[in-house]
Amino acid sequence: MKLNELKDNEGARKGRMRVGRGYGSGKGVTAGRGQKGQKSRSGVAIKGYEGGQMPIHMRLPKRGFNNPFPTVYAIVNIGRVQRAIDEGKLDASKPVTAQALVGAGLLRRKDKDVRLLAKGELTAKVAFELTSASKGAQEAVEKAGGSIKLIPAAKPKPAADKASA
């Protein structure tokens, strides 16, 4: 047997059905879409439509509040910071800022505020200058002899003022 002689077994591949090509094809007239109505036409999008009845997502009560402008933090754990110090990627004698974390490879880029979390163990005496830190992370840093200086979060740029337009 040669490569140019390879072929599928008989019946392994089924030809596509050509619809709307006359009565004799078995898929003429309605082309397998049943009879008339919205679903038989092209461009159908009726997810959640209940035939004019009030849809379930509108009947159920709504709860809570979804903040359209949440503060999004880049998360860094103290265990990863300790590992970066041990590997020589971070200098524990200098303050650890968001820019230093980007340089050490713990963050991709400095486009979000940084929050320090307490997962892992910190043994080095480190001074942090970050936007936010959990209570457990603050205790762990102070226990290791370090300090945390919280800097204000970067405010999102407001949209163009409508009053001046």
Pairing of β 147-150 and β 132-133: unpaired
What's the pLDDT score for residue 4? 94
Q: Give mean pLDDT in consecutive 10-residue pieces for the chain, a chain of 165 residues.
A: 93 90 89 85 81 91 90 90 90 88 88 88 90 92 90 67 51
* In contact, 129 and 96? CB cutoff 8 Å: yes
Give alpha helix (H) positions in 27-134.
56-59, 78-86, 98-104
Full-model pTM: 0.55
Residue 30 lies in a domain: no
Residue 103 lies in a domain: yes
Distance of CA 87 to CAs 83, 84, 104, 147, Å?
6, 5, 10, 21
CA 47 to chain centre: 24
Element (H, E) at 76: strand 73-77
What's the pLDDT score for residue 139? 93
Structural domain that includes position 145: 77-150
What's the pLDDT score for residue 158? 56
What's the pLDDT score for residue 165? 47
Residue 28 lies in a domain: no
What's the pLDDT score for residue 50? 85
The Cα 70–Cα 154 span in angstroms is: 12
Residue 92 lies in a domain: yes
Residue 54 lies in a domain: no
Nearest to 85, CA basis, from 114, 120, 131: 120
CATH number assigned to the domain comprising residue 145: 3.100.10.10
Let me know how long the chain is.
165
